[in-house]
Amino acid sequence: MLDTSRRTAYTPEHEMFRDTVRKVLADVMVPHLEEHERNGIVPREAWKAVGAAGMLCPTVAEENGGLGLDFGYCAVVNEETCYIGSSAGFTLQNDITAGYIERLGTPEQKQRWLPGMVSGDVITAIAMTEPGAGSDLQGIRTTAKKDGNDFIINGSKTYITNGQNCDMVIVVAKTDPSMGAKGTSLILVEDGTPGFTKGRNLDKIGQHAADTSELFFEDVRVPQENLLGGEGRGFIHLMEELPQERLSIAISAQASAQRAFDEAVVFTKDRKAFGQSVFEFQNTKFTLADLASQLQVGWAHLDWALARHLRGELSTAEASAAKQWHTDMQGRVCDVALQLHGGAGYMNEYLVARLWRDARVTRIFGGTNEIMKEVVSRSL
């Protein structure tokens, strides 16, 4: 269990909510984690169960079916979901897509999508990455051309979280290819729209429970009313959401690193070698002490960043630095935690193996850590 007794970013109300989140995850998710890993997807029944508990999109306003709470409640769900070792796509819906719809959506779009996103009846995705455009979003090639009162979308996306489950996807497309980044728009595409097809559930190194897909758009016709936000302002809208997205990744990285560390402490205290527990060797104790120090710094920094974000003060550079530092730290902690398990750490039956595998991508998605350093350097 995460020790939150010394946290500074949360209120007693947040911690009461955390108790509920833990109980729901223990009932709905923990007994089925291996099944989710094997099947490569979290079933819709689980989404509906966490939605019924108020764990999906808690920031959505009451008039749109939500609880009207602050981002701290999303952060609690993120921490607890990652701490149990799940890569379920709840966090993407809570921390990313819900914000786009609520901030940019028309009243009709909000009423159409947000209540179902809160209940778990609607699962969403955002389609940015393409086979030839990853961190450089200005390089996307998917187009959305006007035809009468419609847009006709052509292109493909890849590495899309919730791609198999999604009922609606926010598509990043060029509405005016001649304008570069200024010609980018966000368009809502519903599952079942003719020409919109989901490719295979991608075979990844880790995060197996997160359905991650290729998406294809071939003459997909949607009404212009599906435009989300301003036409040609898609790149600006994406940049506006980056602080929360990157903070979300930092939160998940910190919680996962803590679980890997906790697993290593338990294992080394239980495992015997040369007549004593592995924990009693000075190398083990000093190694764990070093990890504990890094985690202590991480939690303090995370609470600082969370507090700034809740006040609306977290900058893109600060969030990028958080994403880079916490995911780098996650990689170090998970690798050392696996090492301390010895050969057992290489066995998939041990949670630390999954945590180690799942950690690798966090230095890549949401913008690679090299891009994070570039963003930070521009603020100097």
Rounded to whole angstroms, how far apart are CA atoms 192 and 172?
18
Q: What pLDDT does 178 receive?
A: 84
User: Final residue of a domain: which of 203, 232, 261?
Assistant: 232
Residues 245 and 350 in one domain: yes
**Domain contains 67:** yes
CATH code (residue 212): 2.40.110.10
**Domain contains 7:** no
**Domain contains 116:** yes
Domain encompassing residue 94: 12-122
Rounded to whole angstroms, how far apart are CA atoms 18 and 4?
10
Query: How many domains would you assign to the chain?
Result: 3
Rounded to whole angstroms, how far apart are CA atoms 56 and 277?
43
Q: Residues near 234 by Cβ (< 8 Å), separated by ≥ 6?
A: 172, 173, 175, 184, 185, 186
Q: What pLDDT does 132 receive?
A: 79
Amino acid at 341: H
Copy the structure tokens of residue 216: 């294809």
Rounded to whole angstroms, how far apart are CA atoms 97 and 170?
8
For 214-268, the pLDDT digits (tens) are 999 999 999 999 999 999 999 999 999 989 999 999 999 999 999 999 999 999 9
**Domain contains 292:** yes
**Domain contains 151:** yes
For 163-220, the pLDDT digits (tens) are 999 999 999 999 998 887 789 999 999 999 999 999 999 999 999 999 999 999 999 9
CATH code (residue 320): 1.20.140.10
User: Final residue of a domain: which of 197, 232, 267?
Assistant: 232
**Domain contains 249:** yes
For 103-129, the pLDDT digits (tens) are 999 999 999 999 999 999 999 999 999
Residues 132 and 160 in one domain: yes
**Domain contains 3:** no
Residues 114 and 129 in one domain: no
Bridging pattern class, strands 212-223 and 227-228? unpaired
Residues 101 and 158 in one domain: no
Q: Which pTM was predicted?
A: 0.96
Residues 355 and 317 in one domain: yes
For 275-307, the pLDDT digits (tens) are 999 999 999 999 999 999 999 999 999 999 999
Residues 27 and 74 in one domain: yes
Whether residue 245 lies in the annotated active site: yes
Helix axes 71-83, 12-28, angle to 10 degrees: 40
Residues 99 and 131 in one domain: no
**Domain contains 209:** yes
Rounded to whole angstroms, how far apart are CA atoms 202 and 244?
26
Q: Give me the catalytic one of 102, 245, 263, 318.
A: 245
Helix (H, G, I), strand (E, B) or coil at 231: coil
Residues 162 and 116 in one domain: no
Residues 129 and 145 in one domain: yes
Residues 247 and 358 in one domain: yes
Rounded to whole angstroms, how far apart are CA atoms 290 and 292?
5
Residues 207 and 268 in one domain: no
pLDDT at 131 over 90: no
Residues 217 and 240 in one domain: no
